[in-house]
Structure 1
Amino acid sequence: MSTDAHTRILPAILALGALLLATTARAEPVLPVETWHTDNGAKVLFYPADSLPMVDARVIFDAGSARDPKGKGGTASLTASMLEEGSTERDAKAIADGFARVGAEFSASANLESTAVRLRSLTEPDWLWPAVDLMAEVIAKPAFEDKDIQRERNRQLRGIQSRQQSPQAVASDALRKAAFGDHPYAHPTSGTRESVESIASSDVRDFHQQRFVATNATVVIVGDLDVEQARRLADTLTDSLPRGEPAPDLPEVEPLQESETVRIDFPSEQSTVLVALDGIARKHDDYLPLYVGNHMLGGSGFASRLMSELREKRGLAYSTYSYLMPLRAGGRLVMGIQTRNDQVGTALSLMDDELSRFIDEGPNDGELADSQANIVGGFPMRLNSNGKIIEQIGALAFLDLPLDYFDDYTDRVEAVTADEIRKAFDQHVEPHKRVVIIVGPTAEEADVDDGAN
């Protein structure tokens, strides 16, 4: 290995070692983040990391698909994709060439709750600041030409059509609709064919004008900069944005009122099955007991109860799982499996049994200790690169969690008791009220009870 390679890799190894030491000893904050607001109201979080001469910058807007205008699902996704399609000062090719010329990576995308605009650049001034200026231009001054919007809308429609070829995507979209009902979380992030076809150019412009404002933005910076450079970067990215107003709170997700089974005909050799039950918002005090508990139920791969019962003992599936969907305004607990079409009823019954048993009895001491050790042991890997660190800091800021959240994280995981897990599941998860999505050949469907056993 060359000397130059050693000089670049060694600091990264030392930085990771320092992070691991901080995680274990708690002598220093795990993520020593500095935070402030720009003059026009954008929140900024900065984490200095000098292991590599690079910086990651992200502007996160509260502008996900949950903010789509009613009946126009997919507006947030379309707006995000348009940011790379030209500004008022240059066309899409000139923008792409501008980032490429300085070796910077740029992207923008929307998800359920937010839109993120991302930049990765070397910190050499002649490369960094042109990239930052260009990113600021793209965010604040998109051209939104009618012809470009039409082209991107057609591309989005092709993507929606492509999703219909995936049973997992079909099931996920159906689950969102059935599990969230009339809530803004209910529709697919990319929208439906009908909703996207209804989006006019004016809808995209209005969405950008309303949501891409400074007080609705969080800037996260991770990399080899000092505080003054970080302030300059944040100011440059937000100075051209109007101050605006933050997005209002979303309505709370209502508990499921009854059970429902949705069957969707799909030509496949296996059926994809998803089950949604009540859950909680991410900031809820019971999040950690539910998270640790779900790790045992279906979130830890081969070590989980669902995998043991449905795959190892019964051979019903290659994979079965569960996960929490904890959002700002509420959430759901989801279980899933792909199994033979004639085994759907059996698989669902066993999943129900395992969930009910877990709620009634909670975990045993051995599996709790194993899960806690697994979560704690894997924790440093969530923070072992600038890309992962910026993801975590961005999530803390967007979800309004304390910035010292990770300082005692492993202690709090190890402190969760079996009784706390049992009580949290008993309080928040009602097994007799669920949404079941079955995607597969309906001609071969098994009898499925609309209520849990």
Structure 2
Amino acid sequence: MINPPVHRSQLANGITVLTIANPSADIVSGRFFIPAGGRWELSAQAGLAQLLTSVMMKGTQQLSALEIADRVESVGAGLSADTTTDYIKMSLKTVKSDLVDIFKLAAEILRTPSFPESQIELERKLILQAIRSQTEQPFNNAYRQLRTALYGEHPYSRSSLGTATTMAQISRQDLVDYHQTHIRPDRLIISLAGRITPTEAIELVAQVFDDWEIPQIEPPVLLTQKVTTNPQYQVEHQATQQAIVMLGYLAPAIHDPDSIALKLIDSYLSNGMSSRLFVELREKRGLAYDVSAFYPTRLDTSHFAVYMGTAASNTQIAVSGLRAEVDRLCLEPLSAAELQTAKDKLLGQYALGKQTNGQLAQTYGWYELLGLGVDFDSQFSQAIQQLTSAQLQTVADKYLSTPYISIVSPEQQLVSSQV
């Protein structure tokens, strides 16, 4: 599939509109992005954005939760809201004939949620259950421990769900205040993909949002929190049948040119059953139940991580094995064949991630929020193709030399930090 062109415009009240015309099916998908989420929360209010997006869908000043659900389900549409560390998002999907009605409903939910007390308590209970569920999962515990070591007091150290303590303390007024502060037109990005032209998209957004004025208060300012390097070795014991071993490294945000090389390194280590980690540590040595790597796209300082689920008796061997495979990247350049295979995998996966209208709306809206612009799509592919083995080795040596180590293992298994 050839990527359709992306049209960008901006309304007088600051709303950014992206249109990706893709008339192959009578479907339109949309994303409403607002820079908010966990990165904009006080530590004492961690989970506030998560509770807000959960309750937003449960009533407006004109509609009840049941009426909202009925309007969406009666036409087979999709409408939801969620949050991440870097943004709050609403998503919609509908046939073209119902777009105006569903779009107006999404706008009403975004602008005038009623935050019913009964729904706040219900959603709070559900989130508290999710928090408890996280604490029972060894991978989540290892990742939480790693993030805490990497980021300290930075919001990236926290789960978007918050903690049981912070979630229990959030009040309805906190939700109202957060909504008034962050949900405003000059912070809104709307991306629409599908059977819709740029002219239709702009007219629709203007029709629904033209009366939304920028509030006479300054937009929220994100306080920059410095992340310092201080590698640690941490072990947490949990009643589990296997150990989770995770190595992490502070890594650049997506705006840094080195991030492109790290995306390719991530793909080389973890993309599929022919990836280095899978072949070397699972297939050849039989160490891993599960082994992979990840490098999240972040507005601020990100991280690169490799991990393995293994038998508790193999914990120290797993640490050594993971370190050896990462260290090889710093010491040995990839062969021409390895480099080309990694590029083909990454670009193939990247293309498959933009097949649906929902994926297109998500991708380009996210790029806009990141400040990368609509041209980043083609720039990314070109940059990947131009990377050399020597450049990958240089970037690996720059960022992947000394890891933070996080382990979750059964209490009876003694784990040594002398690895």
- TM norm structure 1: 0.87
**Count of aligned pairs between the two proteins:** 417
Indicate the residue corresponding to 1:373 in structure 2: 344
Conserved 8 A contact 1:290-1:425: yes
**Equivalent residue for 2:406?**
437
Secondary structure of the structure 2 residue equivalent to 1:251: coil
Contact persistence 2:260–2:380 (CA under 8 A): no
On the 8 A contact 1:280/1:330 being kept in 2, the answer is yes
- Give the Cα–Cα distance (whole angstroms) in 1 for the partners of residues 114 and 355 of structure 2: 38
Per-residue deviation, residues 24-55 of structure 1 (Å, max 9, x unmatched): xxxxxx44111111221111111111111111
Q: State, as a whole percentage, how many aligned pairs show the same letter.
A: 24
- Corresponding residue of 2:247: 275
**Mapped contact 1:220–1:390 kept (Cα < 8 A):** yes
Tell me the amino acid that sits aligned with residue 392 of structure 2.
Answer: I
Out of 68, 83, 89, the residue aligned to residue 56 of structure 2 is: 83
Match of 1:305 among 251, 255, 276: 276
The reply to whether residue 262 of structure 1 matches residue 231 of structure 2 is no
Q: Report the secondary structure of 2:378's partner residue.
A: coil
The Cα of 1:250 is off from its aligned counterpart by 5.2
1:140–1:240 Cα contact (<8 Å) kept: no
Alignment-mate amino acid for residue 55 of structure 2: M
**Which residue, out of 166, 180, 193, partners 1:195?**
166
Match of 2:46 among 70, 73, 80: 73
SS in 2 for 1:142: coil
Q: Deviations along 1:302-348, whole A, 9 cap, x unmatched?
A: 22222222112211113211121231111111111001111111110
Corresponding residue SS for 1:327: coil
Distance 1:429 1:238, change over 3 A: farther
Q: Please state how far the C-alpha of 1:190 moved relative to its aligned partner.
A: 0.5
Aligned residue number for residue 301 of structure 2: 330
The CA deviation at 1:278 is: 1.8
The one-letter code sitting in structure 2 at the alignment partner of 1:446 is: V
- Does residue 106 of the first structure (1) align with residue 86 of the second (2)? no
| Residue number among 23, 30, 37 corresponding to 1:64 in the alignment | 37
CA gap of 1:368–1:289, structure 2 versus 1, over 3 A, is same
Aligned to 1:359: 330
Q: Which runs of 5+ in 1 are unaligned?
A: 1-15, 20-29
- Conserved in 1, the CA contact under 8 Å of 2:288 and 2:308? yes
> Which of 154, 176, 179 matches 1:208?
179
Equivalent pair of 1:212/1:241 in contact (CA under 8 Å): no
CA distance in 2: counterparts of 1:197 and 1:150, whole angstroms: 9
Task: Find the counterpart in structure 2 of residue 448 from structure 1.
Answer: 417
Deviations, residues 37-83 of structure 1 (Å, cap 9, x unaligned): 12211111111111111111111111111112231110000000011
Query: Does residue 284 of the first structure (1) align with residue 256 of the second (2)?
Result: yes
Write the mapping of 1:92-171 to structure 2, written as runs, cut at 5 A.
Answer: 92-124=65-97, 127-171=98-142
Match of 1:48 among 13, 21, 44: 21
Give the superposition deviation at 1:98: 1.5
C-alpha spacing 1:390/1:129, structure 2 compared with 1 (3 Å): same
Answering whether residue 266 of structure 2 is matched by residue 294 of structure 1, we say yes
The amino acid of 2:232's aligned partner reads E
Q: Which runs of 5+ in 2 are unaligned?
A: none
Return the alpha-carbon distance in structure 2 between the equivalents of residues 211 and 415 of structure 1.
40
C-alpha distance 241-160 of structure 1, shift in aligned 2 (>3 A): farther
Distance 1:253 1:321, change over 3 A: farther
- Whole-angstrom CA distance in 2 between matches of 1:135 and 1:73: 25
Q: Tell me: higher relative CO, structure 1 or 2? Use CA pairs within 8 A at least 6 residues apart.
A: 2
**What is the DSSP-based 3-state SS (H/G/I as helix, E as strand, rest coil) of the residue aligned with 2:296?**
strand
Paired with 2:417 and 2:4, the residues of 1 have a C-alpha distance of 48
TM-score (ref. length: structure 2): 0.94
- Give distance in 2, aligned partners of 1:148 and 1:121: 26
Alignment of 1:418 onto 2:389: yes
Whether the 8 Å contact between 1:171 and 1:437 is mirrored in structure 2 is: yes
**Matched position secondary structure for 1:338:** strand
Counterpart of 2:9 in structure 1 is: 36
Aligned CA distance change for structure 1 residues 128 and 301 (closer, same or farther; 3 Å): closer
State how far apart, in whole Å, the 2-side matches of 1:342 and 1:237 are: 61
User: Match of 1:326, SS?
Assistant: coil
Aligned mates of 1:253, 1:164 — CA distance in 2? 28
1:440, distance to aligned residue in structure 2 (A): 2.2
CA distances 1:212-249 after superposition (whole Å, capped 9, x unpaired): 11111111011112233201332355446452454434
Q: Write the distance in 1 (CA, Å) between the matches of 2:250 and 2:226.
A: 9
Question: CA-atom RMSD, angstroms?
Answer: 1.9
Which residue of structure 1 aligns with residue 373 of structure 2? 402
SS in 2 for 1:407: helix
Other structure's SS at 1:195 match: helix
Task: Confirm whether residue 345 of structure 1 aligns to residue 353 of structure 2.
Answer: no
Q: Which residue of 2 aligns with 1:23?
A: none
One-letter amino acid of the structure 1 residue matched with residue 118 of structure 2 = K
